[in-house]
A and B are shown apart, each in its own frame.
Chain A
Amino acid sequence: MKNRQDKITAEEKFYIATQWQLMWRKFKKHKLAIFGAIVLFIFYFVAIFCGFFSTQDIYKRHTKYIHAPPQRIHFFDEEGFHLRPFVYGLKRKINPVTLRRTYSEDRTKKYPIYFFIRGDKYKLWNLFPTDLHLLGVKEPGTIFLFGTDKLGRDLFSRNLHAARISLSIGLVGVALSFILGCALGGISGYFGGTADMVIQRVIEFLMSIPTIPLWMALSAALPPHWPPIKVYFGITIILSIVGWCGLARVVRGKLLELRQEDFVMAAKIIGATDGRIITRHLLPSFLSYLIVNITLAIPGMILGETSLSFLGLGLQPPVVSWGVLLRDAQNVRTVVLHPWLLIPGLFVIVTVLAFNFLGDGLRDAADPYK
Chain B
Amino acid sequence: MLSYVLRRFFYMIIVLLVVSITAFVIIQLPPGDFLTSYIMKLKASGQIVDEAEIAALRKQYDLDLPIHLQYCQWMWKMLHGNFGKSFEWNRPVKDLILERLPLTVTVSLFTLIFTYLLAIPIGIYSATHQYSVGDYAFTVIGFIGLATPRFLLALILMFVSYRYFGLSIGGLFSPQYQLAPWSGAKFIDLLKHLPIPVVVIGMAGTAGLIRVMRGCLLDELQKQYVITARAKGVSERRLLFKYPVRVAINPIISTIGWTLPRIISGQTIVAIVLGLPTIGPLLFRALVNQDMYLAGSSIMILTFLTVIGTFISDILLVWLDPRIRYEKQAR
Direct contact of A and B (CB under 8 A): yes
Contact B147 A201 (CB under 8 A): no
In the docked arrangement, what's the CA distance between A56 and B148, Å? 29
Q: Which of B172-193 contact A (CB under 8 A)?
A: none
- Report if A352 contacts B (CB, 8 A): yes
Contact A210 B152 (CB under 8 A): no
In the docked arrangement, what's the CA distance between A332 and B158, Å? 10
Contact B143 A307 (CB under 8 A): no
Contact B149 A220 (CB under 8 A): no
- Report if A269 contacts B (CB, 8 A): no
Q: Which of A171-215 contact B (CB under 8 A)?
A: 201, 204-205, 207-214
Interface locus among B22-30, B50-58, B228-236? B22-30
B residues less than 8 Å from A351 (CB atoms): 147
- Report if B49 contacts A (CB, 8 A): no
In the docked arrangement, what's the CA distance between A352 and B15, Å? 33
Contact B261 A213 (CB under 8 A): no
In the docked arrangement, what's the CA distance between A197 and B205, Å? 28
**Given A207-B257, A220-B29, A370-B218: A307 in contact with B155 (beta carbons within 8 A):** no
A-B contact count (CB 8 A): 123
B residues less than 8 Å from A201 (CB atoms): 11, 14-15
Contact A220 B30 (CB under 8 A): yes
Specify the chain A residue showing the minimal Cβ separation from B16. Answer: A208
Contact B261 A307 (CB under 8 A): no
In the docked arrangement, what's the CA distance between A168 and B218, Å? 33
In the docked arrangement, what's the CA distance between A306 and B261, Å? 19
B residues less than 8 Å from A152 (CB atoms): none
- Report if B306 contacts A (CB, 8 A): yes
B168 to chain A, nearest CB (A): 14
Which has the most chain B C-beta neighbours within 10 Å: A205, A208, A336, A345?
Answer: A208
Contact A208 B310 (CB under 8 A): yes
Query: Which residues of chain A have a CB within 8 Å of any CB of chain B?
Result: 32, 201, 204-205, 207-214, 216-217, 220-221, 299, 303, 306-307, 310-311, 326, 330-332, 335-336, 342, 345, 348-353, 356-357, 360, 363, 369-370
List 18 additional A-B contacts (Cβ < 8 Å) besides A211-B262, A349-B147. A207-B257, A207-B258, A209-B299, A210-B264, A210-B268, A210-B302, A213-B265, A216-B284, A221-B30, A303-B147, A306-B149, A307-B150, A310-B151, A332-B159, A345-B152, A349-B148, A352-B143, A360-B139
